Structure 1
């Protein structure tokens, strides 16, 4: 694999950058925290998606980028004989991911979708994200960690780097599967039943079926005989039942006719009595005629007087309303005048409130200025205090470690410069302390002035609030004047309306005494009139009652003839009640016997069905038990296969461990010999991968050597691991290695040796990316990507050197 270019758009702190990568040794240089390692993250994220991101998805996009702008990484690389272009994007406010992969310059995507692209890269390189980043990326802290670990931890870490731990995981999974299979057999055996016992129970059930079938056949014949006997009794009973029904129908009609005749007779008596009462009412009505004529005359006079009384009452009510309205008009005029007087007493409040607001604005501006000064001083004090704390921490660390401590900036040993550095730090602390004291005094003066201005503002606000209350009262009075003026106008309109209504009642003459006399006489005659109405109703009924009496007499004659006819018909039926009840009893007994035997037969048939169901269930149970036995045999076979597989995996791991150590030692030795110019020629490992370095023919533990030499050996080991992984990945491997800050403990001579070795390693690795903050190594690199920070918090990349012609 060879990286040809990376294009970044709004990724982390990169706004828009296009970086070309040649073959050979490439330096990525910039101060700590500027975004050098972000390039490695961008490479991995473009290839493998969200698994490679060190933060949540919504934090990948540059924070200053607009919502409509995309976060995008495009990588062009050569893998084996193919040219790949991978594009991964985050879009919109929800950071929606998308990805495309183009092959050999084809404008149409070869693969689309985030998961599809990741799966394609994983399949093509034969490495997932963890394997890829492990094989190409090495950091200084990882190099230091290998020798500082305990033997067991170091062995585990190297096996993980070499991905041999996956074999142990596979063995563990085989053990877990075996345990689960054993538990499954135990669980099945816990509920297994004896099939021979179940089959014997099945035979007993089948015998019961045969016995019950014979019993059902006998009972079926008995039920058929009883059914025939029941049908004979039912036929005889049906003949008698027909006579019984007809006999009952005639009897019912005879009783109905008797009741009807009796009712007609009673009705005739009632009608005759009503007719006599109506004739008597006619006589009384003729005597009352003179008084009824007088009632009509009095009634007419009363109606006229009632109308006059109503108008007189309405006129009196209007006069009272007019008087009340005049009083309300007078009261409202007095009220409005008092409001006008109250408004005059407040004077010109608008000019007062404007003057007060201007004074308050000046005081608040003064207060805000003082607070801004105070915030600026607080910020300066905090900044100085933070710097003082940092210097104190550095001073304590240097005093504790002495000449063995490292420089806070370059991380090199201080040795004989400790006292000089302590003096400089102490002077800086004293200088900062004086500055903090000066800022504190200035802060106290501002606080006093701020407190005084705050009190003045409080007093002015109280005065303004009092004036605002007066303005509110004045406005309320003006509102009330408007409201009451409208009410006054409505009262005046009401007065005019009442006066117009009174004009319509002019000239009314009403005699109350005469009205009372007429009402008294009307009440006496009205009782006679009401009585006459009832008498008239009786008189109207005379002709109707005569007709009804004649009709009832005819109905009595007709019903009497019908009663005689029905009595004659009843004697011709020849119905015997005793014979009917006897036959009915025999039919009932036959029906009970037949029903009882039929129910017993149904019960036996149901019991037979239940036994057959039990047989089916038993057969199913036997089948299930045989399946359980087969399943146990199958699981036992699987257990045997897992046992064989576990032995093979253990043997494979042992064989791999025997072969991997010499290979890893040989690669590490070759690199070490090359970097040290033959000073150290070989290394070896014990069982815990503890490094033994050959010095003048004798193997020594790595702890015997200096920190720089230790880091150098660890670097060679880490590169050897990457080379081993690259070769074991299949195909042509990645042929890329990225080294992050590997010069931490090396002197200038060692740096030069490492750089020379890296130049020579380009024959084994197509591209070596060297990430460092050490500026003076740039001159030794043929091609450098210089990363710098911009004022807007973005970062830029400058290319230094000449791009070599790519190797095809």
Structure 2
């Protein structure tokens, strides 16, 4: 990853900050609270959005920004051979690829997800890879062995395995509890089987076949139209499904019609874009020529003005030196008198004393007069001539006109692109609308919701009767024995009734006598008793048959419940075995990763250590307790100096970052260190800077953030951050780099405070 530029607009205390990044060792220097770390926060916020910001979303806006001022962060960077420009605000975001005019993503979620996939890192992994936070190196040095192991597991993402394992164990505990509850509520399988066998035996023995046959005949008459009703219901279900599709197609047709109306209206608004492009392009060309002419005239006049001023300064300085020399000669002549030596021929002056003195006085007067002239001339040339100022104003007006026309041309060109897109969308939607109309034309009609509901109710009413008829038919077919018993009871009842009737006829036929009456009454009472006994036997048989059928249904339901519970229990047992295996797998994976972690980190850290120490130390190891060991010629050093300890912690942190970057599939070319010096003295700070410089073949960009001014001399370029109490904003200045002209540096100067 390579950072190119960053712009912060109303982002915390940065009202309008622009920073251009370059390769090499860059320092961001300023006092605490000036807004240095906010620059890094802006980079992370541009890539990952609100989760990367400190505090709440409402605290991001610059507290002195206007009510309608926009919060905006723009980050230009290179990754994987492509150049990206991400522009993010509080409510919107856009991502551009390789300088394209149209964004490849234009929503907050879309931009964040696309960048996360391209980077191959989560927010935490990004920070752990490219950023080393304030005093993190000293914190690592103060960690104990177990704390250092936990820190390494956390930054490398191994703690996710522990979280997953905890979820697996919690799910396994729930499964065990469910299985225990299911077992406790399950009936005994043998008891259910015995109950089912007994119930079936009782039903077979006691079922009332005649009553079942009568009931069966009535049910069959009632369910005779069931087949036709079911067929009609199936047809109505089919029509209902087609009706749902018809409604969906009609809704889609209405939505398409609305979209087409909107697109056609938009096309009417932007149809004039092609003709406007030619017109605006011609105006822009004319204004650019005017701007070029103004630039050339301004440059020529400014050059003449600068040349005249420099010439006046040179003349004035020469006259000052001449006046000083002549004044000194005259003083020497006056002091020596006529016996003095001529300053030109080095002979005694004698009679020529007065003429030489007059000559020097004339030269002094001439130098004074000329100096006065050039001093006035220089005063005249201090201020820019009105003609040059006028040309500057003319150039600014031309530049404003060119900028306005360029923006207008960009809008016209954007409208042309949109016109093509709108035309394509209209064509697609018209084709879609025609296809929908064709689909609607072939759909069947005739669906009636009231008839559909009536058929459904009829089927729901008759289906239980159909099931009852099936059970009764089976009962009638299999129970011949009880049918014969019922016939016998019925015959007995009939015989008894016939006997009673016969006795009554005999009573009516004979003449009344007390003896015959008593005999008849005895016969009648005996026959009536037999009839009542037969009727009670029939009723008892019916009741016992009903009880047997109820017991059978209860036993069948218990059998179904038992089978269902056994199936659920088997599923829970399979789920438990799977979670047991997952638990063991997570434990084995964590063990394997921890075993591989120390050798891999040691190897990467050793390569950094070799480069930083010119192969004086070629190996660094983490022992079983995660203590850092520096080896010299293969032998561990029992005691290392403070600088060597800082070096060991630095290469260890770099190795961790490289491991995260490699696992994300990214090159580790960017390193950002935020206040890593801690309480180091000047010498050790200088050593750390030199160590980082020697890693330039590995890290294309190294950015140091610090409040310590003494490290400035060791950096390739310096970005100074100051807090302006008057404006309440941070001011950012990029100092000139070696080999860059002052004019170029002035062009790159960026200010963070609002004017």
Equivalent residue, structure 2, for 1:455: none
Shift of 1:66: 2.1
- Deviation string for 1:156-183 (max 9, x for gaps)? 1122122222233333333333333323
2:118 counterpart of 1:124: yes
Q: Are residues 760 and 201 of structure 1, via their aligned partners in 2, closer, same or farther at CA, if it must alter by over 3 Å?
A: same
Of residues 557, 567, 571 in structure 2, which corresponds to 1:634? 571
Shift of 1:190: 1.8
Equivalent residue, structure 2, for 1:162: 156
2:106 counterpart of 1:106: no
Equivalent residue, structure 2, for 1:686: 623
Equivalent residue, structure 2, for 1:664: 601
Q: How does 1:371-386 map to 2 (within 5 A)?
A: none
- Deviation string for 1:589-637 (max 9, x for gaps)? xxxxxxxx99x99999999889767755653442332232223223323
In structure 2, distance between residues paired with 1:19 and 1:739: 17
Shift of 1:36: 0.7
In structure 1, distance between residues paired with 2:539 and 2:37: 89
Q: How does 1:369-768 map to 2 (within 5 A)?
A: 615=552, 618-695=555-632, 698-700=635-637, 704-730=639-665, 732-733=666-667, 735-768=669-702
In structure 2, distance between residues paired with 1:187 and 1:621: 17
2:9 counterpart of 1:15: no
Q: Is the 8 A contact 2:97 2:103 kept in 1?
A: yes
RMSD across aligned C-alpha pairs, in angstroms? 3.5
Q: Are residues 602 and 723 of structure 1, via their aligned partners in 2, closer, same or farther at CA, if it must alter by over 3 Å?
A: farther
SS of corresponding position for 1:112: coil
Equivalent residue, structure 1, for 2:88: 88
In structure 1, distance between residues paired with 2:88 and 2:548: 71
Q: Are residues 139 and 613 of structure 1, via their aligned partners in 2, closer, same or farther at CA, if it must alter by over 3 Å?
A: same
In structure 1, distance between residues paired with 2:668 and 2:596: 22
Q: Is the 8 A contact 2:612 2:694 kept in 1?
A: no
- Deviation string for 1:662-699 (max 9, x for gaps)? 22123223333433445544322122211122357642
Shift of 1:129: 0.7
Q: Are residues 610 and 799 of structure 1, via their aligned partners in 2, closer, same or farther at CA, if it must alter by over 3 Å?
A: farther
In structure 1, distance between residues paired with 2:43 and 2:33: 18
Q: How does 1:141-152 map to 2 (within 5 A)?
A: 141-152=135-146
Q: Are residues 80 and 612 of structure 1, via their aligned partners in 2, closer, same or farther at CA, if it must alter by over 3 Å?
A: farther
2:734 counterpart of 1:775: no
In structure 2, distance between residues paired with 1:753 and 1:674: 14
Q: Is the 8 A contact 1:789 1:795 kept in 2?
A: yes
Shift of 1:208: 5.1
Q: Is the 8 A contact 1:6 1:19 kept in 2?
A: yes
- Deviation string for 1:63-87 (max 9, x for gaps)? 1112211211122222213322222
Q: Which runs of 5+ in 2 are unaligned?
A: 216-533, 741-755
In structure 1, distance between residues paired with 2:735 and 2:29: 11
Q: Which runs of 5+ in 1 are unaligned?
A: 91-96, 222-596
Of residues 171, 186, 193 in structure 2, which corresponds to 1:192? 186
Equivalent residue, structure 2, for 1:176: 170
In structure 2, distance between residues paired with 1:31 and 1:604: 104
Equivalent residue, structure 2, for 1:3: 3
Q: Is the 8 A contact 2:136 2:676 kept in 1?
A: no
Q: Are residues 123 and 183 of structure 1, via their aligned partners in 2, closer, same or farther at CA, if it must alter by over 3 Å?
A: farther
Q: Are residues 196 and 696 of structure 1, via their aligned partners in 2, closer, same or farther at CA, if it must alter by over 3 Å?
A: closer
- Deviation string for 1:308-328 (max 9, x for gaps)? xxxxxxxxxxxxxxxxxxxxx
SS of corresponding position for 2:690: helix
Equivalent residue, structure 2, for 1:793: 728
Of residues 197, 202, 208 in structure 1, which corresponds to 2:196? 202
SS of corresponding position for 2:694: helix
In structure 2, distance between residues paired with 1:616 and 1:103: 72
- Deviation string for 1:332-363 (max 9, x for gaps)? xxxxxxxxxxxxxxxxxxxxxxxxxxxxxxxx
SS of corresponding position for 1:689: coil
Q: Is the 8 A contact 2:611 2:695 kept in 1?
A: no
SS of corresponding position for 1:761: coil
Equivalent residue, structure 2, for 1:94: none
Q: Are residues 800 and 186 of structure 1, via their aligned partners in 2, closer, same or farther at CA, if it must alter by over 3 Å?
A: same
Q: Is the 8 A contact 1:675 1:754 kept in 2?
A: no
Equivalent residue, structure 2, for 1:548: none
Shift of 1:37: 0.8
Equivalent residue, structure 1, for 2:488: none
- Deviation string for 1:460-518 (max 9, x for gaps)? xxxxxxxxxxxxxxxxxxxxxxxxxxxxxxxxxxxxxxxxxxxxxxxxxxxxxxxxxxx
When Rg is computed on C-alpha atoms for both structures, the one with the higher figure is 1
Q: How does 1:291-330 map to 2 (within 5 A)?
A: none
Q: Is the 8 A contact 1:216 1:605 kept in 2?
A: no
Equivalent residue, structure 2, for 1:482: none
Q: Is the 8 A contact 2:207 2:546 kept in 1?
A: no
In structure 2, distance between residues paired with 1:796 and 1:634: 67
| Number of residue pairs matched by the alignment | 421
Shift of 1:31: 1.1
Q: Are residues 615 and 797 of structure 1, via their aligned partners in 2, closer, same or farther at CA, if it must alter by over 3 Å?
A: farther
Higher alpha-carbon deviation: 788-797 or 162-171: 162-171
